[in-house]
Amino acid sequence: MSRSTETTLRVRYAETDQMGVVYYSNYLVWMEIGRTDFCLHSGFRYRDMEAEDGVMIAVAEARCRYRRPARYDDRILIRTSLTSLKRRILTFSYDIRNADTGEQLATGATVHVAVGADGAQRSIPSRQFDLLSTRAEAPRE
């Protein structure tokens, strides 16, 4: 099983600014799409963890390094990896590229804290933790 997942999407016109370049905040949306696909490919749907276990992974930190612009109708490849996994904290990394040329457009990372509906920290449920640990690049803690 691959440790990273790849998600492909096409830039929509609404994601671009007046200069025809993808507006910067859309990269964070693309990271979320990659993260959701990562969970799915790990063996669970993120929304089921919220609904059945009452646990969410809230974004505590996000960073993105923009390297080249993406433009309307470009095919985008989002490579998502889980670089750190602890019982309450996860870190994902992202490599965003033009799917046709392979040119790197951006890199990024998000740090997440597992919380309940009340906002208090929780542990990631054992089932999801075990599934994620088989895909994590770093040893689980």
Answer yes or no: is 138 within a domain: no
The Cα–Cα gap between 93 and 63 comes to 10
For 114, list phi and psi in degrees, rounded to 5.
-75, 125
0.75 exceeded by pTM: yes
Residue 138 has pLDDT above 80, yes or no: no
Residue 137 pLDDT level (bands cut at 50, 70, 90): confident
Angle 26-42/126-133 helices, nearest 10 degrees?
A: 100
Yes or no: say if 26 and 78 are a contact pair by the CB < 8 Å rule: no
Residue 3 has pLDDT above 70, yes or no: yes
Answer yes or no: is 140 within a domain: no
Letter for the amino acid at 24? Y
Answer yes or no: is 17 within a domain: yes
Answer yes or no: is 115 within a domain: yes
- The helix/strand count (H/E) of the chain reads as 3, 5
Region 99-111 average pLDDT: 98
Q: What is the CATH number of the domain that holds 71?
A: 3.10.129.10
Q: Model confidence over 92-101: pLDDT tens digits?
A: 999 999 999 9
Please count the structural domains in the chain.
1
**Cβ neighbours of residue 123 closer than 8 Å, sequence gap 6 or more:** 55, 87, 88, 114, 129
**Cβ neighbours of residue 2 closer than 8 Å, sequence gap 6 or more:** 135
The answer to whether 73 is a known catalytic residue is no
**Per-residue burial over 5-16, b = 16 or more CB atoms within 10 Å of its CB, e = otherwise:** bbbebebeeebb
Q: Model confidence over 44-95: pLDDT tens digits?
A: 999 999 999 999 999 999 999 999 999 999 999 999 999 999 999 999 999 9
Q: Model confidence over 22-54: pLDDT tens digits?
A: 999 999 999 999 999 999 999 999 999 999 999
Q: Model confidence over 115-124: pLDDT tens digits?
A: 999 999 999 9
Host domain of residue 74 = 4-133
